[in-house]
């Protein structure tokens, strides 16, 4: 196996699903060339665990932010708490932030938009890119990014686990965002995402697992059985993108890793 340098730009390594064997999970990732992993927080209470994991493992970095399902965490003191956490040397982004218009999200859309907009401003003040979550809200997400001071900068951020259409992708790229792709690009019955990836330049693509959920083919589970995803599987995502773009795995790894290193200012390895 040729040794590559891959970056899993979005992995919830702090999840309880990794509590029993986190050391082995990180080791397996390193063994297949995943030399760097970015772990985003989703609310204030899990920031200490995320920071601790980034301190414990070589090549692991983190992001701090409030997920759109947890906007109630954001109070008048939110910025102070965010700024304090963002000073940590392993923090490379503000995230996971964004909008989620799921029917069962109890956080009002107006509140989500306010919290997202505030975090975009704070990311700019802190000199950090953002990791953006979206669910059925691309138009509002991009509108808020476009209205923020981050728009057009050299390190705006990334739309994580991107599944939008080409028009949305082009608008995001025009705003300076990267697009991150995960397991759906590997699914044999998924046509939309691979077709989109084929149209996009590798220079604006990064890769992720979003572990522990949604493992790639052939590790995908069924509706009745949960199958855990892990950062080592980001290599499979890279392989699928390589086939789509008709490039070697080595070349795809090199480009997507350079993109992630530039976006998050990761240590050179």
118-149, pLDDT tens digit by residue? 999 999 999 999 999 999 999 999 999 999 99
- In the chain, the domains with their CATH numbers are 6-264 (3.20.20.140)
* Average predicted confidence (pLDDT) for the chain: 93
User: Mean pLDDT over residues 97-105, rounded?
Assistant: 94
Which residue do the tokens 């992995």 mark? 11
Cα–Cα distance between 163 and 249 in angstroms, integer? 22
For residue 223, pLDDT over 70 is answered with: no
Q: What pLDDT is stored for residue 81 in this prediction?
A: 86
Query: What residues pair up with 222 in beta bridges, in sequence order?
Result: 225
For residue 25, pLDDT over 80 is answered with: yes
* Structure confidence at residue 4 as a pLDDT band (50, 70, 90): confident
Cα–Cα distance between 269 and 266 in angstroms, integer? 9
The predicted-structure confidence for 147-193, as pLDDT tens digits, reads as follows 999 998 889 999 999 999 999 999 999 999 999 999 999 998 888 99
* Measured torsion, CA atoms of residues 56, 62, 65, 69, in degrees rounded to the nearest 10: -80
Q: What pLDDT is stored for residue 72 in this prediction?
A: 82
Cα–Cα distance between 208 and 218 in angstroms, integer? 16
Contact 210, 10 (CB under 8 A): yes
* Structure confidence at residue 2 as a pLDDT band (50, 70, 90): low
| H/E element, 43 | none
Cα–Cα distance between 109 and 25 in angstroms, integer? 36
Cα–Cα distance between 202 and 166 in angstroms, integer? 14
Cα–Cα distance between 72 and 52 in angstroms, integer? 24
For residue 141, give the 3-state DSSP assignment.
Answer: helix
Contact 35, 269 (CB under 8 A): yes
């Amino acid at each position: 196996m040729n040794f590559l340098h891959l970056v899993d730009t979005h992995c919830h390594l702090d999840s309880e699903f990794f509590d029993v064997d986190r050391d082995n999970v990180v080791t397996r990732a390193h063994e297949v060339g995943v030399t760097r992993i970015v772990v985003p927080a989703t609310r204030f209470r899990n920031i200490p665990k995320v920071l601790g994991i980034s301190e414990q493992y070589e090549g692991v970095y983190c992001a701090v932010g409030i997920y759109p399902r947890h906007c109630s965490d954001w109070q008048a003191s939110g910025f102070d708490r965010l700024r304090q956490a963002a000073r940590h040397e392993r923090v490379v982004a503000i995230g996971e932030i964004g909008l989620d218009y799921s029917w069962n999200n109890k956080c009002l859309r107006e509140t989500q938009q306010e919290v997202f907009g505030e975090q975009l401003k704070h990311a700019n003040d802190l000199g950090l890119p953002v990791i953006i979550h979206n669910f059925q809200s691309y138009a509002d997400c991009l509108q808020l990014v476009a209205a923020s001071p981050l728009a057009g900068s050299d390190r705006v951020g990334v739309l994580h686990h991107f599944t939008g259409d080409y028009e949305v992708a082009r608008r995001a790229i025009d705003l300076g965002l990267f697009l991150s792709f995960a397991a759906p690009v590997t699914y044999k019955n998924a046509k939309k995402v691979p077709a989109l990836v084929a149209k996009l330049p590798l220079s604006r693509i990064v890769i992720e697992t979003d572990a522990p959920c949604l493992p790639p083919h052939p590790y995908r589970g069924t509706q009745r059985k949960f199958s855990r995803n892990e950062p080592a599987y980001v290599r499979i995502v890279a392989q699928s993108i390589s086939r789509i773009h008709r490039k070697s795995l080595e070349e795809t790894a090199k480009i997507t890793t350079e993109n992630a290193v530039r976006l998050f200012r990761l240590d050179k390895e």
